[in-house]
Structure 1
């Protein structure tokens, strides 16, 4: 993308003047105060606005506006701005003058709103740069060129070097991940924590409040409530036991009734035919074993299996929670700041040397010694205080770690007991097999219930249940009673006793329901807090899991982006080293950029020195090389004109000639706008057929020119 024209409608000293530019080398030449810098300052003023509008507002004028026209890749971009109102009009057209994109709104240089972001994004897409600071650091070179300093500018430069589509996607993805992460928690593992609590901290606060309420609830509960709860527990246990006895008694009565009905028909048909044999028990067992094998379940599975599997799952969850707590304690222990005794020792040695030197040279030894002693005392107190604080924090971490280890040992002991129980029941002991078996049991619970119920029925047919409402009648007594009574009297007696037992059971169930209703009505908050507490804990576990996943994703993405950026920086430093070596005649062959994009030079093939330690001419040559090299290796393939305002002021003749050669080579692939007042440079421009714009009546000697339709421009012959 090249700059085709600058139209200064009311900008500085220019009124309704237009300046045409071309691809390649463009020289704007004129004496001092001819308006060269004012003309090129219209470029960032139109693109990004200006915070110093009064500098470019015409004297006595009420308007201040300018217009830029860019061309490239079959497109034309026209941007105009009224600097007093910040009214911007941007139009993108193709070769057939069809409008591809248009923007018109007020965009201030200090803006931060949605319109501002939309306009900057449009500049980034069309021109490749949407930030004024980055534009001046890469495309502008004045008497005091913008040096590459600061973390913010360094990040923008790194993004510009690798600003392909993939790099932009990485940046947008990183922003989304960080935004989602800090919506969940205020803890920042990569820097300072956020001040405002996020979702996780709010849930922790609510959990702490509910837990405090639960801990205070037993203290305010009366003795009557405790006794009532104990009565409920005892009654529930008794009802559960008697309900099981009632069900077994009902089955037994049904078997007696069926047997009494079957005996007369058996006596009548005894002389005619033999009764049809009952189904084989082995056949039923084989059918259950086949169905269990089809589901992947082992044969002879104990009814205690679901209980053991649930207990094993709970132990695994406890171990995972303890492991997370232990990791958090270890991370806290690593973050404890300890005093640097080596640094303090070095400072002590330095103070001793200073005091010794004062004594040796008799230079106010008393004052120097007293000052050194006071400073040493302050440093020692500070170090001791910091060490005591660190030891206290380490002790707290050690106590917490021992507490977690003790809890972990108890859980492991319980896990070992569960393993022994699994071995006794013929179940697997490895966690993977237990999880698989747990899923199979949950998926085939109905089949297993039938299998276990059949086993209970077989045991019932072999033993006589107790159905008395008051006392449990032994099986031997029941057998004696059956042998002494007739079948009819036995059946009637059993049915009557079973009915009485059922009536007693229903009365006790009604009593239990009444007690529970009284407890619920007396303490309504207890019925609400427990579900809320459970739900909050579940939400917290989900949020913690999401935070861990987001943190891992951010770290992986940051590492990938860093590797990608380093490869791009190697390409940039290679190109800068080549250009700068040519400018300096081979004196400096290697240039590198640190993590903040600050340049350093290698001296005598051994030592690296920062750029500010060299002369002004060397620094100018270095930053000129950096701008040219960056225009070549940009990852997005876009480029803007490079503007150089008298860049050779501090260069000697040798570097001056080399710099011109470098700029001419760079202009072959883009556009260079060079500002100067040097007549010799104007003569060279004539010889090399550069495009020249003369200002302030400047007429280079020996150069033939003719006026064009634009005032102040010369088309060299």
Structure 2
């Protein structure tokens, strides 16, 4: 591809100018401010647009619109690019060798606008011109003053920039960014740097798990305390009931002894024990104490006010006890079901949309790279396909793991739910029994009825005494009575239960002689109750201390769940970054194998041509950078060469890489006073090398150096002198002034 013509109108210092170029070496010579840099800027501005159109307004006509045209000549035809900088219109036309238009593209295209027209123009320019990126064009085909890099580091930077044009990104920067992100999530923290994210989350999890283990130990201790407290409370209730029953029994006996009438036999006075014996044998039945009807009516009215039946159904107590047990079992079952259900709700299936978006992004990137460079479609699509497959594999594994956990939880919940249904069915059956007794089946009414029965037990007992003339105590039989009488030290609820319901059995009541032993047994019960109460207070203090030792168990559980989810997300990110890093390294290795070797061959051919075979091969290495092989086969670094040889080698490298960047299209190479700082010897050697390299390239030099001007005249280069027009204008002006003076004379 050769630049044949450049036309400008109202562009900077040029009101109208047309320049013709030829193959090989072209020298655009002119003094400072002659417009060399303007011409060089106009080439890039016509191809890619102008950021600041006001900068290159016409000096003589500021209101005029800048306009420019480039004509390129190719083996197959001609390419013409026109741009109106005022209206932001561009025309790209491709003609055959007879200048007949084959294809034409015209659009309104402001600079930097991301429109469909801009994408079509860049596509057309890439197909016809070989390059569509302004920065890459300036980096590969433009050499400014002092741009010859002779150090390994400077050359390595330029090589990386040019290789980035082949991949549309700096692969080293991408790889370094991926490695930094991967190290930020994993690895050990270096000195003076913050710890890694995974290490921070892991340490926080260990601290929370330690707190959770502490809370579990304290909870186990609390459970033991609650079990012992329940035993102590049960013993207290039982002993208090026995003490109360024993005290009531002794009070009843004393009252009976005091109100017993004296025997009617003359001259004798029976003891209460003898009266009890006579009464039991039927020789002289004792007259029962009369009970007032108003007291019995009062007791019945109190029972009705409390909502209780006067005649207690025989199954009511059993039904209430069974109902309370079933209700407690149902509550315990609900407490076991609730954590499992909450855990089942927390096990949400992963969302597929983020994975799908990431997959679409990789597919679009791979497809775009393959579309831009059809020759490297396999290299571009393989990493994208591998990354997409890995993403969906990780998504599937996580989804299967969550489904497995959900199935396990559901299997654990099934027997508990069946047991709950059975308990609810039994409660419904008991509701039917309560309704058969004429009572409400509501759970609240059952609890109220049970509490009222517990409170009104004394009323039922007193009512039974008034009806039967004796305490309403259920008999235990002859064996129970005998056992209770043989052990007077245990007279309590057992002694009360051993009393007969009617005075038809043998003598079973205590005698006045047994009263001290009964009182001593009651005192032992009272002492045992005091010990239980003291133990109960100690257990309450221990419970309070244990509760103080609990470290916010609910907050710990919530924070632990959040950190576990965060750790799972970090592990997922680490897996994705690891896979991406591996694929990037593999893609870089493939790129090096395909492109770098080809670049080494192309650079070697240019270096052989430029150095006349003094250096034959080039090797690009990550460790040593660029090395060259001389005729003896020794590999030398760039800093081991002479300054002039290094300049020639760098120039050959730039030309070879520029051709690789433009995908084989040999574009013109522009020099903007790049050789102005070279001495005579280095300049001569560089010019010899340029003349040899110009056999395959069109080289355009913009310079004001008179040494290049003399050499151009001597070697018959194509010369475009910007000062010649100015000298012609000055001569015409002097001639005109002379004619005016002659006319005046």
Is the TM-score greater than 0.5? no
* TM value normalised by structure 2: 0.42
* TM value normalised by structure 1: 0.43
